[in-house]
Amino acid sequence: MHPVLARYLDERPWSQGRTRRMVAGLHILQELARTGVRPVTYKEFAEQLQPGLAPLAAGRVLADIGEFCTDAGWPNVTCFVVSAATGECSPGCRQIGDEGPVVARERARLAYGVHGGGPLVDPATVDATGR
């Protein structure tokens, strides 16, 4: 796992499930940024994160990811999750600042896809504890 992410998680008194979902969600969104795939809906994100997870429950995960990205200075990949009804970004995306979701998506695509130098979650290191 990336040392910045590991240190951040060590400072949080989260349950194993919450930690695991945050790390898995971050990995999913980094892959979307890397591959340049269109944004996904809450429902699609929730299903990829944990089959049967309610889309509303994914909101907490997105908020955790957004807070981490802001704190760590990583591209905020929560801008890749949108409402199916409105096409608007997730609440976690509010932390991207004034640049807006379109610019944030482009920044993430450049970091993870085009330049390939963005800090990544290493999925091989994620176990049942999320670390």
Residues 65-94: tens digit of each pLDDT:
989 998 998 988 998 998 888 888 865 566
Alpha helix stretches (DSSP H) within 73-128 = 100-109
Compute the distance between CA of residue 118 and CA of residue 63 in angstroms, rounded to an integer.
20
**Band of pLDDT at residue 128, cut at 50, 70 and 90:** very low
42's enclosing H/E stretch is: helix 42-49
The 3 state secondary structure assigned to 101-113 is: HHHHHHHHHHHHH
pLDDT tens for 95-106 read 666 677 788 888
pLDDT in tens, 54-68: 988 888 899 899 899
Q: Where are the domains of the chain?
A: 3-115
Strand partners, 89: 82
Residue 44 DSSP class: H
Q: Is the pLDDT of residue 16 over 60?
A: yes
Q: Rg (Cα) of the chain, in Å, rounded?
A: 13
pLDDT at 125 over 60: no
